[in-house]
């Protein structure tokens, strides 16, 4: 709900309040954003100033107490005394860089957000309340529209900005933020998620005491270097208690978020398109719109904040046929065969997959042009008939016939210099004419600022997607931008290229997802190099990382989960030694971690022995039985250190599944407990594990302590015994109320500690894990 009265604007969600007002000077003073308050006199939360502090400036001689440097604002200008991080920077036709936007008017409606060039949040049912506040520059005919949308149930407020140039002159826009959030205090903690290829989403906390902390991308894409999702919190905030803000952008290009502490101990947060390298000519009588920013706050810690974000992303970002549909279990050919694929291999993979209960086979890279490695053929989307003599259709039909769906990999935004497309249209790639180009994975980025290039991609992909019965598409993007230049644009417009690229991409995605509504699209960018809400507005899921190692993944998935629901994070079980880390982890742990994401395999199944295939078959069966809870339940993070603890709870709270995973074993530390989260406190649940038979190989030659005959580690006898005998594994079976499972925790069986092995012992070495099922009785 939004209340606008007497120059005060109060935006309310179920549990939060956001308040600002128009000051006497006409600026918008931000007054409050936090847990819901009933308010009274608005004066209680307005800035009081009786004098202007030394060396700060009076905005006007008419009010000697008022300085723009020491007041919380909704949208700061430039050059009138507020020397903090600006919201907007521009150059007028006369060369002046000063802008001073003051209140003009507002409108209030219930309606969905609408941007012409970018995706927005939306509501399919109750429309969000929409407040538009129009500001006007005092001296130039330029308007700034601040748009606010209130999603009550998710406790989310979104914002975007539109600059309208009504003057008769062009202006150079250097920076325009989507949101600004001023706090009257400092020492907030900014949490960012940084990384690189195969180690996305490292969590970093920086206390902002003074100066400025920036989280941004200059890669041309949202990037694995710095995900656009960030959090602000108090130092005392924990997973379940305290104030936590979640902030994101619906944008897939260069983004920028900064938290800056002022001379007077106030913190300013801004977020929007990265101004570095950006410059947009807003022609006379034209406008410029920013991406939409997403904001939420909870007083129930990071988990409370995440629940808001998850609900918002599931309901108001993800759209289309697959929004609420259970996603299939897939087998992807990449780690099974890399580029070395052919019809026979893929068919064999599909047959093995079918035997395990897998539902979809994905043919990854290598199926087109002369694509035998990563040096050629991107751009030439014609099937390689040496590998697939019956074409994509021939293969897809064969796979469909055995009862599996078929999916395909594409990387439409790219071109190899060694391709027919590039030979024909060298100017269709971004790059500075007649200058050497910096290469990444031997490929270049197509110039998506050009309509003819967008149309080429739309046509080429339409041909691929309609060439066979294609149920799923993995849309990859495997390099960052360099030599950013479009040969189609004028010199003065080159600062627009990176943003125009994103706009072009969104047009392509919009067209293709509309044309092929049944296809399940999965975003990918060398894993998580473009994991953001812009992509999720078209594709309901994204491949989170090329690193499939369970020990890495358990933390990465925890960290993705701060801002994104698990129904958007795809996760596969792969072979060991793991191809990225060479680490060996047990198959059940790889499953126990991946199963909480949108789940699949990436594995050469035909190479596996019967016992392993049986284990995989059982895994798929288990997943299918609980798929709805895994994909659409509410996910809660528990501990994330040497022990990792997760709980996912079905919507009606009648079922929950928990994970306990350990990185390194510490002997003689028997007090392992599992704490559930999110259960109904009063409901009685039956708590069980699926006992995991333990191979005697785990004990090596220690087994000789109890064995009647000598068993050589790695010897024939050990192999024979292992084939016919396993220790049964501990059984955990309890009935307990939700509050007991959550607040007392479950005291698990004693873990192996160098001595005393029997049927009750929980054998829990390095990288061990357990799943616990909780069912309402």
Least CB distance to ligand GLA at residue 198 (A): 9
Question: Which residue, 239 or 364, is less far from ligand GLA as judged by CB?
Answer: 364
The rounded radius of gyration (Å) of the Cα atoms in the chain is 28
Q: Which of 198, 197, 195 lies closest to 549, judged by CA?
A: 198
Alpha-carbon separation of residue 608 from 191, 353, 475, 579, 595 (angstroms): 42, 11, 29, 16, 20
Question: Which residue, 364 or 645, is less far from ligand GLA as judged by CB?
Answer: 364
d(CA 601, CA 329): 8
Question: Which residue, 149 or 367, is less far from ligand GLA as judged by CB?
Answer: 367
Least CB distance to ligand GLA at residue 334 (A): 5
Binding mask 693-732 for ligand GLA (x = CB under 6 A): ----------------------------------------
Q: Do residues 450 and 486 make contact, with C-beta atoms less than 8 angstroms apart?
A: yes
Binding ligand GLA (rule: CB under 6 A), the pick from 364, 413, 522, 549 is 364
Q: Bridge partners of 107? A: 132
Question: Which residue, 158 or 217, is less far from ligand GLA as judged by CB?
Answer: 217
Question: Which residue, 380 or 645, is less far from ligand GLA as judged by CB?
Answer: 380
Binding ligand GLA (rule: CB under 6 A), the pick from 334, 472, 531, 562 is 334
Please work out the total of residues on this chain that contact ligand GLA, with binding judged by CB under 6 A.
Answer: 11
d(CA 288, CA 394): 48
- 434 token code pair: 């007649």
Least CB distance to ligand GLA at residue 479 (A): 10
- 14 token code pair: 């179920």
- Among 476, 529, 588, 634, the active-site one is 476
618 included as an active-site residue: no
- Please write down the long-range contacts of 10-13, taking CB distance under 8 Å and 24 or more positions apart: 10/39, 11/129, 11/131, 11/148, 11/150, 11/157, 12/36, 12/150, 12/152, 13/150, 13/151, 13/152, 13/153, 13/154, 13/155, 13/156, 13/157
Q: 206: part of which helix (H) or strand (E)?
A: strand 199-208
What is the DSSP track for 368-422? Answer: BTT-SSTTS-TT---B-TTT-TTHHHHHHHHHHHTT-EEEEEE-TTEEESSSHHH
Torsion of CA 416, 422, 426, 429, to 10 degrees: -50
- 3-class secondary-structure state, position 319: coil
Least CB distance to ligand GLA at residue 707 (A): 45
Alpha-carbon separation of residue 87 from 174, 204, 275 (angstroms): 10, 25, 11
d(CA 531, CA 541): 9
Binding ligand GLA (rule: CB under 6 A), the pick from 29, 182, 365, 588 is 365
Question: Which residue, 579 or 697, is less far from ligand GLA as judged by CB?
Answer: 579
Least CB distance to ligand GLA at residue 384 (A): 14
Q: Which of 361, 311, 332 lies closest to 566, judged by CA?
A: 311
Least CB distance to ligand GLA at residue 197 (A): 8
- 463 token code pair: 């041909």
483 included as an active-site residue: no
Least CB distance to ligand GLA at residue 296 (A): 30
Question: Which residue, 369 or 633, is less far from ligand GLA as judged by CB?
Answer: 369
Binding mask 461-480 for ligand GLA (x = CB under 6 A): ---------------x-x--
Least CB distance to ligand GLA at residue 371 (A): 9
Least CB distance to ligand GLA at residue 470 (A): 16
524 is a site residue for ligand GLA (CB under 6 A) = yes
Binding ligand GLA (rule: CB under 6 A), the pick from 409, 623, 752, 764 is 409
Question: Which residue, 338 or 622, is less far from ligand GLA as judged by CB?
Answer: 338
Select from 13-21, 302-310, 521-529, 659-667 the region that touches ligand GLA (CB under 6 A): 521-529
Select from 58-66, 148-156, 233-241, 519-527 the region that touches ligand GLA (CB under 6 A): 519-527
Select from 119-127, 450-458, 523-531, 657-665 the region that touches ligand GLA (CB under 6 A): 523-531
Select from 188-196, 354-362, 522-530, 683-691 the region that touches ligand GLA (CB under 6 A): 522-530
- 3-class secondary-structure state, position 534: helix
302 burial (CB, 10 Å; 0-12 / 13-18 / 19+) is buried
Select from 39-47, 520-528, 555-563, 569-577 the region that touches ligand GLA (CB under 6 A): 520-528
How many C-beta atoms surround the C-beta of residue 695 within 10 A?
A: 16
Binding ligand GLA (rule: CB under 6 A), the pick from 224, 513, 526, 592 is 526
Least CB distance to ligand GLA at residue 604 (A): 15
In the window 743-772, what residues touch ligand GLA (CB under 6 A)?
none
How many C-beta atoms surround the C-beta of residue 726 within 10 A?
A: 15
Q: Bridge partners of 245? A: 232, 297
Binding mask 477-516 for ligand GLA (x = CB under 6 A): -x--------------------------------------
d(CA 557, CA 590): 13
- Among 182, 365, 447, 546, the active-site one is 546
Instruction: Report the residue closest to ligand GLA, judged by CB.
Output: 365
Q: Bridge partners of 686? A: 735, 775
Least CB distance to ligand GLA at residue 409 (A): 6
Binding ligand GLA (rule: CB under 6 A), the pick from 527, 534, 563, 633 is 527
Question: Which residue, 380 or 546, is less far from ligand GLA as judged by CB?
Answer: 546
Q: Do residues 245 and 295 make contact, with C-beta atoms less than 8 angstroms apart?
A: yes
546 is a site residue for ligand GLA (CB under 6 A) = yes
Q: Do residues 720 and 707 make contact, with C-beta atoms less than 8 angstroms apart?
A: no
- 96 token code pair: 């002046």
Contact footprint for ligand GLA (CB under 6 A) = 334, 364-365, 409, 476, 478, 524, 526-527, 543, 546
Q: Which of the residues are catalytic? A: 476, 546
């Amino acid at each position: 709900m939004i209340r606008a009265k007497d120059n005060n604007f109060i935006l309310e969600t179920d549990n939060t309040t956001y308040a600002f007002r128009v000051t006497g000077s006409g600026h918008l003073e931000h007054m409050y954003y936090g847990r819901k308050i009933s308010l009274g006199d608005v004066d209680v939360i307005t800035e009081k100033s009786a004098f202007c502090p030394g060396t700060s400036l009076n905005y006007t001689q008419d009010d000697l107490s008022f300085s723009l440097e020491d007041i919380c604002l909704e949208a700061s200008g430039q050059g009138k005394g507020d020397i903090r991080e600006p919201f907007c920077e521009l150059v007028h036709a006369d060369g002046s860089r000063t802008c001073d936007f003051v209140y003009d008017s507002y409108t209030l409606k219930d309606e969905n957000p609408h941007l012409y060039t970018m995706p927005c949040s939306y509501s399919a049912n109750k429309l969000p309340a929409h407040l538009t506040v129009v500001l006007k520059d005092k001296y130039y005919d330029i308007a700034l529209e601040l748009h606010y949308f209130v999603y009550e149930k998710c406790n989310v407020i979104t914002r975007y900005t539109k600059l309208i140039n009504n003057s008769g002159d062009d202006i150079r826009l250097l920076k325009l933020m989507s949101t600004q959030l001023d706090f009257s205090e400092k020492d907030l903690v900014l949490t960012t998620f940084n990384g690189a290829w195969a180690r996305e989403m490292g969590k970093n906390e920086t206390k902002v005491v003074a100066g400025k902390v920036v989280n941004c991308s200059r890669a041309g894409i949202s990037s694995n270097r710095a995900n656009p999702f960030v959090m602000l919190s108090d130092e005392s905030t924990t997973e379940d208690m305290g104030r936590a803000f979640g902030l994101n952008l619906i944008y897939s290009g260069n983004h920028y978020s900064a938290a800056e502490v002022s001379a007077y101990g106030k913190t300013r947060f801004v977020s929007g398109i990265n101004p570095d390298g950006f410059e947009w000519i807003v022609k006379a009588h034209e406008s410029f719109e920013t991406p939409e920013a997403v904001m939420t706050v909870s007083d129930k810690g990071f988990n409370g904040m995440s629940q808001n974000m998850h609900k918002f992303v599931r309901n108001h970002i993800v759209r289309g046929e697959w929004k609420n549909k259970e996603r299939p279990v897939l087998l992807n050919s990449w780690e099974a065969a890399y580029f070395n694929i052919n019809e026979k291999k893929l068919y064999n993979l599909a047959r093995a997959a079918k035997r395990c209960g897998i539902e979809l086979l994905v043919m990854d890279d290598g199926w087109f042009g002369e694509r035998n490695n990563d040096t050629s053929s991107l751009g030439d989307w014609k099937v390689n008939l040496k590998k697939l003599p019956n074409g994509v259709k021939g293969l897809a039909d064969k796979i469909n016939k055995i009862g599996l769906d078929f999916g395909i990999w594409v990387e439409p935004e790219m071109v190899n210099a060694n391709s027919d497309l590039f030979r024909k249209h060298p100017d269709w790639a971004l790059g500075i004419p007649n200058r050497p180009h910096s290469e990444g994975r031997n490929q270049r980025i197509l110039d998506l600022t050009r309509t003819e290039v967008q149309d080429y991609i739309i046509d080429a992909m339409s041909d691929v997607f309609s060439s066979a019965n294609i149920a799923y598409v993995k849309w990859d993007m495997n390099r960052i931008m360099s030599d950013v230049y479009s040969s189609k644009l004028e010199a003065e417009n080159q600062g627009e290229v990176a943003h125009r690229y994103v706009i072009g991409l969104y047009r392509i995605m919009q067209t293709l997802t509309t044309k092929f509504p049944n296809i399940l699209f999965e975003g990918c960018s060398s894993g998580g190099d473009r994991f953001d809400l812009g992509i999720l507005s078209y594709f309901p899921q994204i491949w989170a990382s090329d690193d499939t190692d369970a020990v890495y993944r358990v933390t990465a998935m925890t960290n993705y989960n701060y801002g994104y629901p698990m129904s958007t994070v795809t996760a596969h079980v792969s072979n060991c030694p793991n191809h990225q880390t060479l680490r060996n982890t047990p198959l059940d742990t790889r499953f126990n971690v991946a199963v909480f994401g949108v789940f699949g395999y990436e594995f050469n199944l035909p190479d596996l022995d019967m016992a392993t295939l049986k284990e995989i078959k059982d895994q798929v069966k288990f997943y299918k039985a609980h798929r709805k809870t895994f994909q659409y339940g509410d996910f809660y993070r528990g501990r994330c250190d040497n022990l990792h603890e997760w709980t996912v709870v079905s919507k009606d709270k009648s079922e929950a599944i928990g994970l306990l995973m350990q990185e390194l074993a510490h002997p003689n530390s028997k007090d392992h407990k599992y704490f559930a989260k999110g259960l109904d406190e009063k409901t009685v649940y039956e708590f069980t594990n699926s006992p995991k038979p333990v191979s005697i190989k785990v004990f090596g030659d220690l087994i000789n302590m109890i064995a009647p005959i000598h068993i050589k580690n790695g010897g024939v006898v050990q192999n024979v015994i292992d084939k016919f005998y396993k220790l049964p594994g501990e059984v955990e079976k309890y009935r307990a109320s939700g509050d007991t499972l959550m607040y007392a925790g479950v005291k698990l069986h004693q873990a192996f500690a160098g001595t005393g092995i029997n049927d009750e012992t929980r054998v829990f070495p390095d990288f061990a894990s357990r799943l616990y099922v909780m069912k309402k009785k």
